[in-house]
A and B are shown apart, each in its own frame.
Chain A
Amino acid sequence: MTVDVVKDFQVDEEAYRRMREDLLKRYKGKWVAVHEGGVVAVGDQLSEVIKKAFSIVGDSPFYINKVGEEAKVGRRVYRFR
């Protein structure tokens, strides 16, 4: 992963944190993609939001999370490993 990609990802991640209160009012329970300080895609299914966001931003990185359920989707348990 290049330094620029990491930096851009962290910028979008930070933008999501800053916008969270507003996102909670508008998009609670939805998957949201954030790019360059703005929301570029919203939806109920993660797969659909990823596809939509890439169709808009192309090769640029973005950050994605589920509004109001960050703690739940932010944990992953692997049984096999």
Chain B
Amino acid sequence: MTATVVTITSGKGGVGKTTATANIAIALAELNKKVVCIDGDIGLRNLDVVMGLENRIVYDIIDVIEGRCKLKQAMIRDKRMEELYLLPAAQTRDKNALDPKDMVSICNDLKPDFDWILIDSPAGIERGFQNAIAPADEVIVITNPDVSAVRDADRIIGLIEAEQKGPARLIINRVNAAMVKRGEMLDKEDILELLAIKLIGIVPEDENVVISTNRGQPVVLETKSKAGQAFKNIAQRLLGEDIPFLQFDEKEDIFSRLFGKKHSGGS
């Protein structure tokens, strides 16, 4: 078994890197893949919270690098999935505690035992980003349908190309179908035209994401969530399956009718 290393990054903060990492990891695990997530956000760790594994942390990635524990000791097994692990970040250190060489060597140690290694990149274009991108075999750029997030995505795609890690694939997260329809939000075509990379998923805006994040129960586990379904689709596309992108407008109409309210997206 040789794992594929996928780095999820965005440039801008708050667009959904951590949420996407957690959800894609769980979706892959549900498809019977062995998955490990690495939280690359040293000093501002969140992935453990989103995955609901915060209180299980004993050692972290810096402890591994600095030799205080073995790699296996720092890895936390998910409470729901047999074959899903988290390698948490250190909270009391900063990005400079790690360098790209360390990330590459950790991934090389993990590769034989897993199918997928997902790295949750921190925001920004500095050391943390460089650490996260160094071991990547594939890169997923995540953006929101707003001008500033897309601008930052463009910047980060340029840096990924410069590191010769491209071509990256794109997730457009938090798409509000109603707003797109009213022309108040950038639509898929606008974004793809500017960024000129392949799309791997569109995730609708979904209130369930906030609720599930607070509960540490990623939305992909909720069968009814549209966002959860979108993340499942992304996981299947990562596995090379050809899953069509669901049409926004039709969904919007059906859901408005069903729930009689301005719901939170289609998929």
Q: Is this pair of chains taken from one and the same complex? A: no
> Which residues of B line the A interface, CB within 8 A?
none
Q: Which residues in A have some Cβ–Cβ distance to B below 8 Å? A: none
